[in-house]
Structure 1
């Protein structure tokens, strides 16, 4: 009987404690507004975050520079714009120098190319001429995007909770305080969202700067073998005499003009000398006298 009575007391005490705990928990839940739970969303796709974050894919920002020698830089720039447009990208900036008597012109383009189409698109652009230099840099921003996602989710939950509290504010002072806190959190949330959109855009679209130069402006290749050295020497020899012929052609009119002026001056001087000599009196001989 004592054991039964002791067991019954323990059961009643446990039930009483459980009831008190549930009552206190219910009272506490009624006095505190729980944050609104964000709606469940599907898996993050490539178009939403720049890559497949759910599957653990790395988020890479690709930037680079490409230098290409072409016959007509302006025409190559137009063709590049068409190739980039077909790949789903666009031209961020374009600078051109028109050809003149001294140079055939040049072009500089900053293009945004979808990262998935980068290799194929660059191959098509480099096929327009002779690629001199290609450099690509990759920056992994996976951790930054994950950190931004976490901070955005926390701030969004805080904003939702403040909106609910503001709807149930009893006094003007509470309303003003909640509005100030809400404005601050919304500004921070928009700033983080803007940073995430910028990173997503850089991940999805690679930024490549392309320089189109003419053969005249192309870097000189240093000879590495006897044959290439011989060819370079012959080209230098021919180029030297070609330059000399051009110099002679340019200087010929000036040489002819200077020669004519010198001939006229010499003719005038000689004529003056002859005239002066003809007008001079003949020399006189002294009269001879007799010695006697």
Structure 2
């Protein structure tokens, strides 16, 4: 667990689960690692892709919590060799009350982002919360049904999210419009399609410095420097490359703190800097 103290709020980076590291060439099958030896040594030091399934919780000083994504869930996950999440323990360790969650926002509907949406009875786990997702992601799943994603994602959607959709409790949100406000703090969606059809990042403003919760814009910091490298889960690779570049440039231009759910916990918060001479972008973790 990491925390970032802001004006009027604290942002927690919670780790629901961490899968067994995979070979970097498996996770990024088309990446030319030999062409970027310094990046490879920095971000894949043992030749493996280390990741986690992160959840972000913005706890405002009045106690209200905005939660971004819902992790892998309790498990056991057949797709990840029986892995299960520990989000309730992470909430407890952070001193957070699940009943104080007033909004759950999904960046997209992959299995490692929806797992704790329901409790063991099939009811919404965060009973006091609104549930919200990008309108484009909802529309994609409504249009495509069983073809919306790979089978393991479709199964997780049916298990963890479909009951909320069917009950009419899942709200659709458009990019650029406020989805949350608390005093000076506001949150809105930033389009970042490609990983999924309706994938969005989340912008938080008014907390002293802008925050960009990246969703799955990147799976590894190397992709900020080389946006051409696609993770195997990107649905539309060309569009994902464009979005990675656009989101990184936005973060660099605005000086936003990046919050990345798939970066290892020690690197979950960082900033993107741009070389004035070359225009190259690079990720710099915040080590507090």
- The higher relative CO (CA closer than 8 Å, separation ≥ 6) is in 1
TM superposition score category, shorter chain reference? under 0.3
Which has the higher Rg, Structure 1 or Structure 2? 1
Q: Which has the higher strand share?
A: 2
Q: Which has the higher helix share?
A: 1
